[in-house]
A and B are shown apart, each in its own frame.
Chain A
Amino acid sequence: MRGDRRVVIVPCSGIGKSYGTVSREAAYAVTQDLRPADSQLVPLALLVLGDEAARAAVAANPAVTIDGCKLACATKMVKESGGTVAQEVAVLDVYRRHKQFKPQGIAELNEGGQRLAHAVAEEISAKVDELREQSGGTADA
């Protein structure tokens, strides 16, 4: 991304649900493995708390939200924090396209859940690339 601008990734913070875990695993995959130079993780809890650094990050950068259910807390919280949501990703929508990856488990996802998280991460990485190209930035190696 141009300068210090990095796409903000905000995952669901739902505890005790497989789809929430999938969203967080996908966020880790993007920000730590797939696009570490072009993305940054902002925890939803910090936005809820009104953390200044988190609010500044979403205000200054495009955000991709990952929601585990239709309450769409991540998307709502980014908007309420003054951010711009470049893409809303619903884990359930991705699952509908990958029926073979049925997620199970909470603390530890089953193989289906891990593969679903990877599919979500790939879709987000593509969006990060698109945003990077729009801003004329550089790519992750």
Chain B
Amino acid sequence: MPDDLEATVDKFIFKVAKDRYYTNEGVWAKPEGTRVRIGLSDFLQQRSGDVAFAEVKPAGTSVRFGDEIALIETIKVNVSLTSPVQGVVDEVNPAMSTAPEVVNRDPYGAGWLAGIEATDWEADRLRLLDAEAYFSLMKGQAEEEAKKS
């Protein structure tokens, strides 16, 4: 079984990792025990463009579901990303300050943004999309964008 769902829209290929959950905006959340790792979906990083800077809330910051967790500046836009979980940031990917382009190269792996110690993951999970649901949503969004261009 492949680890990703894959959609080809126009000339672009978008992947959705199957082992995590997603917000409608394309922020992923991957549970690792009581901790949840977060990052950008492949579609969100491709749509946003090459990342110039990534500012993530520092370790120790308390966040609620939907609070801003990071601000990404790309060559096209500034993107405010909201937290897919409630909890306390316990780790920020050090690459975000030294080589944020890793978000574009490996959005589901080395390009993760932060780790959050979740206070109620089960409740948060119910508010998120599983990979199949996000894949369907993302494909629709990508097709809409393709029509505009």
Q: Least Cβ distance of A98 to chain B in Å? A: 11
Q: Which of B93-119 contact A (CB under 8 A)?
A: 101, 104
> Does B7 touch A at the CB level, under 8 Å?
no
> Does A126 touch B at the CB level, under 8 Å?
no
Write out the residue numbers on chain B whose beta carbons fall within 8 Å of the beta carbon of A95.
52
Write out the residue numbers on chain A whose beta carbons fall within 8 Å of the beta carbon of B104.
70
Write out the residue numbers on chain A whose beta carbons fall within 8 Å of the beta carbon of B75.
17-19, 68-69, 92
Once the chains bind, are A92 and B53 in contact (CB under 8 Å)? Answer: no
Size of chain A's interface in residues, with CB distance under 8 A?
Answer: 10
Query: Once bound together, how far apart are the Cα atoms of A18 and B74, in whole Å?
Result: 12
> Does B50 touch A at the CB level, under 8 Å?
yes
Size of chain B's interface in residues, with CB distance under 8 A?
Answer: 7
Query: Once bound together, how far apart are the Cα atoms of A58 and B47, in whole Å?
Result: 34
Once the chains bind, are A70 and B50 in contact (CB under 8 Å)? Answer: yes
Q: Least Cβ distance of B18 to chain A in Å? A: 27
Most buried by A among B75, B101, B104: B75
Once the chains bind, are B50 and A96 in contact (CB under 8 Å)? Answer: no
Query: Once bound together, how far apart are the Cα atoms of A17 and B49, in whole Å?
Result: 12
Query: Once bound together, how far apart are the Cα atoms of A70 and B53, in whole Å?
Result: 15
Q: Report B35-60 CB contacts with A as 1/0, cut-off 8 Å.
A: 00000000000000110110000000
Write out the residue numbers on chain B whose beta carbons fall within 8 Å of the beta carbon of A17.
75
Query: Once bound together, how far apart are the Cα atoms of A18 and B73, in whole Å?
Result: 14
Query: Once bound together, how far apart are the Cα atoms of A54 and B82, in whole Å?
Result: 49
Given A68-B75, A92-B75, A99-B53; 4 other pairs, CB 8 A cutoff: A19-B75, A70-B50, A95-B52, A96-B53
Binding site for B on A (CB under 8 A): 17-19, 68-70, 92, 95-96, 99
